[in-house]
Amino acid sequence: MVLSNNDGCIISRSDEAKKLGVAMAGPYFKAKPLIEKYGVATFSSNYNLYGDLSWRVMETLRMLLPPGTVEVYSVDECFIDLSHIKPDELQAFAVYLKDTVEQWTGIKVSIGVAATKVLSKVANRLSKKHKEATQGVLVLDTPGRIQQALQKTPVEDIWGVGYQYAEKLRRHNINTAYDLSKQDIVWANKHLGGVTGSRLIRELKGIESIGMKEELINKKMIATTRMFGSPVTELKDIKEAIATYTSRAAEKLRRQYSAANIINVFIVPKEESHNTKFRHGPSIGSYVVLPQASSSTNELIKPAVALVERLYESGKIYKKAGVMLSGIVPDTSIQGNLFTPPAENKSRLLMSMIDNVNFAMRDDVLKFAASGTSRDWKMRQELRSPRYTTRWDELFEIK
């Protein structure tokens, strides 16, 4: 099983761990006796490894499919347009995709095939839930199969239906995806969020309403947010964290050859709560519009740290902070300043050198002093597995 940030909660479990009764989203310390009793392998989140393996899976699919037919939805999920495959060949082709991805990357995948995105999500869920029967591939290609799949899907497991909407639907005696598919568009407009709800019902009926999206090359907003490794009370520590997060966001900005006009900073105080259900505390944030779009770390850190000084309240305990860059434009649109000394106009070259060194050496070998040195506030990852594919000194060893 895998733990969340700071090794707090359980966010992913193998089938074996599920059968033992390890609860999803439960606190790690509560499940620890069960974990130790049965020797359940436990790991911290490992974002470097996840990101690299996700890229390998998506690249494999892009190599096997025509250009523009793969839409990456999240780090572990994508949609594929299979309209170029004959209907009677869909099952065989889906099995071919699954087997090839697993052979090339070592990552187990499941595939759901249907006429719409929502139905394909239903198929994918069932293919994972009933692995022995489906072998990880389920094609909903007949009215009978679609009806059977919808009847097996509770409303809370439909893509796009959250907890509150699920409760509302159950009050209307709509308990399964099949029940919802029988509702009309007028009902959806009234009870299910208007256009969004009507699209959902049309998709369940097999009418395509949510099309494939083109890959977003350049992001319109870039954010870096983290939980602190332990509760933070000192202004110095929060300023160091914000400076570090700003550096990371600026690096992402430069990677897509962009610059930002607006920088937003937020901090989240820790609340004392006796509520058994987890909930996010309120964040305190503010933003500043820069006099000129920039991608230089030093030009972004200064206003970010100034915002922290305005937001911080002495005596409070803080658990999280973050930085968001917006108002993003191409960096080629930024003009040099005639009234600035030539040396100060060379920040792009300096940033490029810093990025290259950090990429080659890893772990922020070059960083700004504002980011601190000890970084006691850093996120805990005490059970993290090695970053096998992105660190030379952590390569997997075969003995």
Distance CA 119, CA 174 (A): 17
pLDDT at 276: 45
Distance CA 375, CA 118 (A): 44
Helix (H, G, I), strand (E, B) or coil at 291: strand
Using only C-alpha atoms, the chain has a radius of gyration, in whole angstroms, of 24
Total domains present in the chain? 3
pLDDT at 47: 87
Angstrom distances, CA of residue 88 to CA of 64, 76, 83, 340, 366: 19, 28, 12, 67, 56
Q: Are residues 93 and 239 in the same domain?
A: no
Q: Are residues 151 and 195 in the same domain?
A: yes
Q: Are residues 74 and 197 in the same domain?
A: yes
pLDDT at 345: 59
pLDDT at 278: 45
Distance CA 194, CA 177 (A): 18
Q: Are residues 78 and 226 in the same domain?
A: no
Q: Are residues 190 and 272 in the same domain?
A: no
Q: Are residues 37 and 155 in the same domain?
A: no
Q: Are residues 184 and 53 in the same domain?
A: yes
In a domain, 394, yes or no: no
Q: Which of 204, 239, 255 is the last residue of a domain?
A: 204
pLDDT tens figures, 279-306: 555 789 999 999 989 999 999 999 999 9
Q: Are residues 77 and 199 in the same domain?
A: yes
In a domain, 6, yes or no: yes
Helix ranges restricted to H, the chain: 15-20, 28-38, 47-64, 90-105, 117-129, 131-134, 143-151, 163-171, 177-181, 185-191, 195-204, 235-255, 297-311, 347-361
Q: Are residues 255 and 234 in the same domain?
A: yes
What residues make up the domain containing 26? 2-43
In a domain, 54, yes or no: yes
pLDDT at 361: 78
Distance CA 247, CA 203 (A): 42
| Phi, psi for residue 154 in degrees, rounded to 5 | -65, 155
Angstrom distances, CA of residue 202 to CA of 99, 113, 238, 239: 32, 17, 48, 49
Distance CA 75, CA 64 (A): 19
pLDDT tens figures, 63-117: 999 999 999 999 899 999 999 999 999 999 999 999 999 999 999 999 999 999 9
> Residue for token digits 């803080």?
318
Does residue 372 register a pLDDT over 90? Answer: no
- Give the pairing of strands 284-294 and 318-330: unpaired
- DSSP of 104-152, one letter per residue? HH-----EEE-SSHHHHHHHHHHHHHTHHHHTTEEE--SHHHHHHHHHT
pLDDT tens figures, 32-47: 999 999 999 999 999 8
Q: Are residues 170 and 132 in the same domain?
A: yes
Residue percentage of the chain with pLDDT more than 90: 60
pLDDT at 274: 47
Average model confidence (pLDDT) across the chain = 89
pLDDT tens figures, 233-286: 999 999 999 999 999 999 999 999 999 999 999 999 987 654 444 455 578 999
pLDDT tens figures, 145-197: 999 999 999 999 999 898 888 999 999 999 999 999 999 888 888 888 888 88
Helix (H, G, I), strand (E, B) or coil at 197: helix
Distance CA 141, CA 112 (A): 11
Q: Which of 204, 238, 271 is the last residue of a domain?
A: 204
The CATH number of the domain where 350 resides is what?
A: 3.30.1490.100
Distance CA 364, CA 319 (A): 23
In a domain, 257, yes or no: yes
At residue 110's C-alpha, the angle toward residues 135 and 151, to 5°, is 80
pLDDT at 281: 59
In a domain, 304, yes or no: yes
pLDDT at 398: 87
pLDDT tens figures, 309-364: 999 999 999 999 999 999 999 988 776 666 666 555 567 788 889 999 888 877 77
Q: Are residues 39 and 63 in the same domain?
A: no
In a domain, 384, yes or no: no
Angstrom distances, CA of residue 169 to CA of 125, 164, 257: 20, 9, 46
Q: Are residues 72 and 151 in the same domain?
A: yes
- Give the pairing of strands 318-330 and 222-232: antiparallel
In a domain, 193, yes or no: yes
pLDDT at 339: 62
* Eight-class DSSP state of 369: G
In a domain, 396, yes or no: no
Cα 13 to chain center, whole Å? 18
Q: Which of 70, 73, 100, 104 is nearest to 84 (CA)?
A: 70
